Amino acid sequence: MKSILIIEDEKAIAELERDYLESYGFNVHIEGRGDTGLQKALDGEYDLIILDVMLPKVDGFEICRQIRQASNIPVLMVTSKKEDIDKIRGLGLGADDYMTKPFSPSELVARVKAHLARYDRLTADKTKRGEHIRIRGLFIDKPSRRVMIHENEAMLTSKEYELLLLLASHPNRVFEKEELFERIWGLDSNGDAATVTVHIRRLREKIEHDPSNPQYIETIWGVGYRFKV
């Protein structure tokens, strides 16, 4: 779940925003002052910050500048004065968006979603080409050895991961059980290929919606398995 920090001294506005955002499944925290807000913002625990311009102690411009020193997370500035907009732009603070009060809550949610999506898109991009595999609802990130199945992380053991990676790296190719065993367990290993069956089963348990009717790893009778695409 994404977390949003609202730095806003008008309690009524802040709570309205919070209620709306929470109803869309966001995790929301409110800070009423500039100084404490800045501290929270720099904690790095939030995915997006909604920042009022006029604040006690430290104003929104300064907070935005300081956030940008430390991170690139989306900052959405809010103001009631139209002339602030030019100032935000002119100062080159690096705010991602700005809205003038009053604004509709649905407009706020739409923008928040858009910014979060873009941020994910652009920062996920640093995973260079070939460092991850995406096939249907399955996502394999090699550097982190993580596997996501429809947004949820599948906690695979070492052997399960290697098995999946090998299969998914060669979509549709059929691997004999013996080959799988040799490539993952090693040529010298003394076990037998029945082990593969059990591991395939355990893997399916974790990545398939219905392990008995697998969508990803298909059994090729009398031969072995393949990753279906």
Partner DNA sequence: ACCGTTTCTTACAAAATTATTACGTTTGGA
Partner DNA sequence: TCCAAACGTAATAATTTTGTAAGAAACGGT
Binding site for DNA (CB under 7 A): 155, 157-160, 177, 185, 189-192, 194-195, 197-202, 204, 211-212, 219, 221-224
Report the alpha-carbon distance of residue 189 to residue 67 in Å, rounded.
54
The partner in contact with residue 54, picked from a copy of itself, DNA, none with C-beta cut-offs of 5 to 8 angstroms by kind, is none
> CA 96, 13, 67: angle at the middle one, nearest 5?
30
Measured from the CB atom, the residue of 14 and 84 that comes closer to a copy of itself is: 84
The partner in contact with residue 43, picked from a copy of itself, DNA, none with C-beta cut-offs of 5 to 8 angstroms by kind, is a copy of itself
Q: Return the C-alpha torsion angle 130, 207, 171, 158, nearest 10.
A: 60
Q: Which x/- pattern over 118-157 shows residues binding a copy of itself (rule: CB under 8 A)? A: xx-xxx-xx-----x-xxxxx--x-xxxx----------x
Taking alpha carbons only, the member of 82, 71, 69 closest to residue 5 is 71
Specify whether the backbone of 156 is left (phi greater than 0), alpha (psi in -120 to 50) or beta. beta
The partner in contact with residue 91, picked from a copy of itself, DNA, none with C-beta cut-offs of 5 to 8 angstroms by kind, is none
Cβ of residue 212: shortest distance to DNA, in angstroms? Answer: 3
Per DSSP bridges, beta strands 138-141 and 132-135 are: antiparallel
Structure tokens at 182: 């040799």
The partner in contact with residue 120, picked from a copy of itself, DNA, none with C-beta cut-offs of 5 to 8 angstroms by kind, is none
